[in-house]
Chain A
Amino acid sequence: MDDEKCVIHLKSVGSAPIMKKDKVSLSKGKSIAALYKFVNKKLKSELEEGQKVLLQVSESFIPSQQTLLADLYDTFKNESNAIVISISIDEPGWG
């Protein structure tokens, strides 16, 4: 179970900087908190002081930090078997 991976498609919205590599494969056992760390690290040089990254699933909701990708994947994967996650800055792209 430990090494099952899933594909995350990271889409920037609004003023959010674009990820150089927008599709990543991560272990299903990773949490949303780990994904925040990953995105923040990748965008570090492009974010201004105090800007806050927000992640939303399937252009709709912000999952809690503790949510594991496994719990999102089975329900929210799209036709290409990826979880679509939007990156927005300070304000959620979809309310």
Chain B
Amino acid sequence: MEEDIAPNYEIRRKNFQGTLPVQIRLDYSEIYIDKELPTYYIMQPRMSYFFLLIPQLIEFYSELLEGKGISNDEYWFSCRGEPLRFDLPIGVLYDTFIRENSSHDNLPFKICLHYHKFPTYSLQKGMSKYIFQQSLKESSMMRVGKATAVQDRLEHVRSMLNSIKEGKYDDFWRYNEEIGEHSLSQLKYFPVRIVINRHYHPYMLKEEKDSIKGNAFVIQRPVKVDATDICIGEYLAKTLSKYFFIQTEVIVDEDNIEEEKQNEVEVVERSIKGTEVIVNGLDIDLDTSLTWLIMNLSAQDNFLYITVRVPSESIE
């Protein structure tokens, strides 16, 4: 079994190396300025995080921002008027909000940098510096039941984050080996997060709906390592039954029609036509093995991020 679910190192490297062009404008709506400010363009690894760009953006816009005494914690990003979560990798944010039907028409990924009116209703101020290490610790707790390997190597974690930002795969793994590489027999759970482009979670209370704002919701359901492998569709039907369900179809064997021999097969269906399932920029067939996806397409914090895009025109 162990051989069947070993990672494919070539795919893992390619998964790490995916990039996205990003366009960033500064929101200077509260300052009078008599000229157009330049726009910042950069290629960014899909696995990286927007908050890592803040120091270089402050430098780029130094003419406007210098001497204003704005702390790095005041900065935040938005896309189409909505604050962007700091804790999701850039590629996951793009897949969730922008990507449409595998087209690349929406590139570059256009976002806006803000330095005032921090949206405390949807983001937690001052937390970005902790994000990667916390996510890594959370996944370690799921995988091996403890997070001491991360805890004891916070210097390594900072180097890992830098390697992600620079797109340096070999450097990343040099640091990650002691933290993230475990044999299958040591693992308890595989960390998996579903990111949905709706303000929805199966357990969310109505009162919470009003108090936690945001346009992406994470549903976190790890998968037991020793469980039988299932397809991603079955996993989604179990965790997100509002949008995916299992239907039993009867297939009639035409050669044996006289014997009325019938076979029943289970098929996963989408409740809303056009709902997309994406992992790191790839459209995923619902019958793809979940373990295969976890092994090969997980992000650098060891979570597999499954984006579920429900079409915006659908009414619920």
Asked if residues B205 and A27 are in contact (CB atoms below 8 Å), the reply is yes
**CA distance in complex: A83, B151 (Å):** 20
**CA distance in complex: A29, B203 (Å):** 5
Counting contact residues on chain A (CB < 8 A from B), the size range is 20 to 34
- A65 within 8 Å of B by Cβ? yes
Asked if residues B138 and A61 are in contact (CB atoms below 8 Å), the reply is yes
A-B contact pairs, 30 of them (CB 8 A): A1-B202, A27-B205, A29-B205, A30-B205, A30-B208, A31-B211, A33-B211, A33-B212, A34-B208, A57-B141, A58-B141, A60-B138, A60-B140, A60-B141, A60-B147, A61-B147, A63-B138, A64-B218, A65-B124, A65-B212, A66-B85, A66-B212, A68-B204, A68-B208, A70-B201, A71-B219, A71-B220, A75-B142, A75-B220, A95-B133
User: Out of A28, A31, A71, which one reaches B212, CB within 8 Å?
Assistant: A31
- B221 within 8 Å of A by Cβ? yes
Give me 15 other A-B pairs in contact (C-beta within 8 A), A29-B205, A61-B137, A94-B151 excluded. Answer: A1-B203, A30-B205, A31-B211, A33-B212, A60-B140, A60-B146, A64-B85, A66-B122, A66-B212, A66-B214, A66-B217, A67-B220, A70-B202, A74-B221, A75-B189
What 0/1 readout, one digit per residue, does chain A (16-55) give for beta carbons within 8 Å of chain B?
0000000000011111011000000000000000001000
**Chain A neighbourhood of B7, CB < 8 A:** none
- B107 within 8 Å of A by Cβ? no
Asked if residues B141 and A76 are in contact (CB atoms below 8 Å), the reply is yes
- Which residue of chain B has its CB nearest to the CB of A58? B141
Asked if residues B151 and A60 are in contact (CB atoms below 8 Å), the reply is yes
**Chain B neighbourhood of A92, CB < 8 A:** 130
- Which residue of chain A has its CB nearest to the CB of B139? A61
**Chain B neighbourhood of A62, CB < 8 A:** 127, 130, 134
Which residues B120-138 have CB closer than 8 A to chain A? 122-124, 126-127, 130, 133-135, 137-138
Those 7 A-B pairs whose CB atoms lie nearest each other, nearest first: A29-B205, A70-B203, A61-B137, A71-B220, A60-B147, A61-B138, A62-B134
Known A33-B212, A60-B151; contact A71-B205, beta-carbon cutoff 8 A: no
- B87 within 8 Å of A by Cβ? yes
Interface of A, helix, strand, loop or mixed by DSSP: loop
- A2 within 8 Å of B by Cβ? yes
**CA distance in complex: A33, B202 (Å):** 17
- Chain B residues near A (Cβ < 8 Å): 85, 87, 122-124, 126-127, 130, 133-135, 137-138, 140-142, 146-147, 151, 154, 189, 201-205, 208, 211-212, 214, 217-222
Shortest Cβ gap from B107 to chain A (Å):
27
**CA distance in complex: A92, B211 (Å):** 25
- Which residue of chain A has its CB nearest to the CB of B124? A65
Asked if residues B208 and A75 are in contact (CB atoms below 8 Å), the reply is no
**CA distance in complex: A60, B152 (Å):** 12
- Which residue of chain B has its CB nearest to the CB of A37? B211
Shortest Cβ gap from B284 to chain A (Å):
22
**CA distance in complex: A24, B102 (Å):** 46
**Chain A neighbourhood of B140, CB < 8 A:** 60
**Chain A neighbourhood of B211, CB < 8 A:** 31, 33-34
Asked if residues B134 and A61 are in contact (CB atoms below 8 Å), the reply is yes
**Chain B neighbourhood of A68, CB < 8 A:** 201, 203-204, 208
**Chain B neighbourhood of A34, CB < 8 A:** 208, 211-212
**CA distance in complex: A28, B219 (Å):** 13
**Chain A neighbourhood of B205, CB < 8 A:** 2, 27, 29-30
Asked if residues B151 and A95 are in contact (CB atoms below 8 Å), the reply is yes
